[in-house]
A and B are shown apart, each in its own frame.
Chain A
Amino acid sequence: DAGVTQSPTHLIKTRGQQVTLRCSPKSGHDTVSWYQQALGQGPQFIFQYYEEEERQRGNFPDRFSGHQFPNYSSELNVNALLLGDSALYLCASSLAGDIPGNTIYFGEGSWLTVV
């Protein structure tokens, strides 16, 4: 059973460019969340997708957008890249349902460097 898979693992972009990161959730999971982890910090919630819609969003600008496909996979898009967007981007998958202790699984992340 494959866990959460993300691609690419590493990439380098130039300021002002756009980037797309991809995620396939754990088999059977229908909810995908994205987190940004800057160097030396804990991950921060960007947004969450369920049934192909953004269900909730953290404190990130509109430059950050996403999409969920019918097979539950997801993309994270960041436009007009800034140096401060350099971070590890983590995808997390879970089952829908507001259940205490709902186990959330993480991928290994995509390292984005903006130069």
Chain B
Amino acid sequence: AQSVTQLDSHVSVSEGTPVLLRCNYSSSYSPSLFWYVQHPNKGLQLLLKYTSAATLVKGINGFEAEFKKSETSFHLTKPSAHMSDAAEYFCVVSDRFSGGYNKLIFGAGTRLAVHP
């Protein structure tokens, strides 16, 4: 069965420093992997997605993630944090055999705080 583990519930960084949000997944088949962001009182916005093409995926707002099959990881990074990046981030997986690619399995989320 699919599952997603976000290794940090809270991450705090200073503005201008790098961001690393860690995610490990479990999937019985070639997964699709996503990162979504949720700002307070807002819906979910797709940051980026991996679908078995390039293992390094670039998304919006300077975020990128690297798919590492051997480590079953899909960590999210950004070189320089902005105050506007403060939000909740969700790592998400789907695959063909666990409900299909239209059914998303979410991690518990990582709350990113950015300090001046």
Contacts and interface: CB of A to CB of B under 8 A. Distances in A.
Secondary structure class of chain B's binding surface, majority of residues: loop
Interface in B1-43: 4, 30, 32, 36, 41-43
Contact of B101 (A42, A43, A45, A100): A100
Closest 7 pairs between A and B when the two form their complex, measured CB to CB:
A101-B51, A42-B106, A108-B43, A106-B44, A100-B51, A101-B32, A106-B43
A51 to B, nearest CB: 13
Interface residues of A, number: 28
B49 A42 contact: no
B100 A101 contact: no
Contacts of B36: 106
Given A100-B30, A102-B101, A44 B106 contact: yes
Contacts of B102: 31, 33, 48, 94, 96, 98, 102, 104
Interface of B: 4, 30, 32, 36, 41-46, 49-52, 90, 94, 96, 99-109
A98 to B, nearest CB: 5
A48 to B, nearest CB: 6
A43 B106 contact: yes
Given A56-B100, A98-B100, A107 B49 contact: no
A2 interface: no
B49 A103 contact: yes
B51 A42 contact: no
20 contacts: A4-B43, A35-B106, A41-B108, A41-B109, A42-B108, A43-B44, A43-B106, A45-B103, A90-B44, A92-B104, A94-B102, A98-B100, A100-B32, A100-B96, A101-B32, A101-B50, A105-B46, A106-B36, A106-B45, A108-B42
